[in-house]
Amino acid sequence: MSDYDTIKEIRAERDKYLERSDRLRHSLEAIRDFEPTLDPGPPADFNAGCRGCKRARDIKWPTSGLCNDHYIIVDDIERANRRAESAQHWDMRTIARNVLSAEEE
């Protein structure tokens, strides 16, 4: 084996590791830049005409100032947002799995 062949092998290994590091860098950037999509919720005056909400605000109970129907709407949106935020780490696992599976190929 000549020195030329050894240099070719070293360069091929280097290129392989550079390609791998680029894939890892891109995956880390994707993880860093990931933002879960959150629902902004209803507008502030979505329940302006509701008599149940007006009564709740007048007697200050419940503390949300919403009737049962409107409270359910707001609560569903808040729960969906919490699920999206807590699911963020699962999305990170998916990104990591995709990178690792690409490495094995």
- DSSP-derived secondary structure for 16-54: HHHHHHHHHHHHHHHHHH--------S-TTTTTT-HHHH
Task: Write the DSSP symbol of residue 81.
Answer: H
Indicate the domain borders of the chain.
3-104
Would you state the pLDDT for residue 58? Answer: 93
Would you state the pLDDT for residue 66? Answer: 93
Q: Looking at per-residue confidence, does 23 or 14 come out higher?
A: 14
Q: How far is CA 26 from the centre of its chain?
A: 16
Q: What is the pLDDT of residues 59-87, one digit of tens each?
A: 998 888 999 999 999 999 999 988 888 77
Q: Is residue 94 over pLDDT 90?
A: no
What b/e string do you get for 28-57 counting C-beta neighbours within 10 Å, with b at 16 or more?
eeebeeeeeeeeeeeeeeebeeeeebeebe
Q: What is the pTM of this model?
A: 0.59
Would you state the pLDDT for residue 96? Answer: 72
In the chain, % of residues over pLDDT 70: 92
